Amino acid sequence: MAATTTSAPTTIATPAPQTTPKILRYGWRYLVMAAATVVTLIPVWWVVIASVSAGSSAFSAALWPQHWYFGNYRALFQGQFPRWLLNSLVVSLSTAIISVFITALSAYAFSRMKFFGRRFGIIVIFIIQMFPASMYLVAIYSLLIKIHLEGTLAGLVLVYSGAQAFNIWLMRSYINSIPKELDEAALVDGATRWQVFWRMIVPLSRPMLVTLFIWSVMTSFNEYMIASLVLQGGPETFTVAVGLRSLIYNQFATNWTLFAAGAVIATFPLMIIYLALQRQLISGMTRGAVNL
């Protein structure tokens, strides 16, 4: 009887996958990010250095000053800069509160209520927002003169609060993501439209409302063109943007170092507001982008 031999299965050795080092695969991304960071921070650093430099010219400031001079900050607070900063905070916070309330009400109407011209209306107000503000500056100032609000902070808040077309469109998309069944269940239980809006829609839309609030604060705080037209009642009515420009376009002198110091100080209120509401801001921007 012949002996049977069994041969062992042959295995083909597969070459080990060549792994590219992570530094080579992602190194170019780090280089691009580092370059973008440097390009972004150089102007900021230049302004900071100019603010602690003596003299009045920003172009004489070195990358690192030999002597740190804080007299520019003292000179600012001895002048009218605190008044300008207070005016900017009053205008920006008032504008944000009014605009968020108007935006929420309008967006809820366009999202939940049925009326003639609803779809056409949201398109029209969005198209109007595309026109630059320079086209209606004369009309704005003429209207403020007729209602006796030219040269006042109240008139500026009124103008800022009216430009909410894009915010309404964005908020409407956010409210559309909230199930309508919640509204219907509340209405069946006897709630009014106002109760549905205030007790259900507003709490559920808080991330987007915070996003719009911060956006309104930033845009109104930094806006210059409309503010320079409306606020012609004297330096005591200036906002930070208008007041700082007067430092570098003065009839008798231009002081860039004072301007730089004011720009540095003006960033802190916005930074504090952003850091305080950062979590809600990120949530609102993420969900708003998904809903769009």
With cut-offs at 50, 70 and 90, classify the pLDDT of residue 117. Answer: confident
* pLDDT reported for residue 257: 85
Q: Do residues 110 and 168 touch, judged by C-beta distance below 8 A? A: yes
pLDDT tens-place string over residues 218-242: 999 999 989 988 988 788 899 999 9
Number of residues that this document lists for the chain: 292
Look at 25-29, 88-92, 133-137, 192-196 and tell me which has the smallest mean pLDDT.
25-29
Domains of the chain: 22-73 (no CATH), 80-291 (1.10.3720.10)
User: For residue 64, which amino acid is it?
Assistant: W
Look at 166-175, 211-220, 227-236, 249-258 and tell me which has the smallest mean pLDDT.
249-258
| Residue in the block written with tokens 């003596």 | 54
Looking at the predicted structure, is the pLDDT value of residue 190 above 90? Answer: no
Look at 23-27, 29-33, 255-259, 267-271 and tell me which has the smallest mean pLDDT.
23-27
233 alpha carbon, distance to own chain's centre? 28
DSSP 263-289: HHHHHHHHHHHHHHTHHHHHHHHHHHH
Q: Do residues 280 and 210 touch, judged by C-beta distance below 8 A? A: yes
d(CA 95, CA 120): 27
pLDDT tens-place string over residues 84-111: 999 999 999 999 999 999 999 999 998 8
**Other C-beta atoms lying within 10 Å of the C-beta of residue 177:** 15
d(CA 265, CA 17): 56
* pLDDT reported for residue 290: 47
Question: Has this prediction a pTM greater than 0.85?
Answer: no
Which comes out higher in pLDDT, residue 194 or 255? 194
d(CA 173, CA 160): 22
* pLDDT reported for residue 292: 45
Look at 144-148, 249-253, 276-280 and tell me which has the smallest mean pLDDT.
249-253
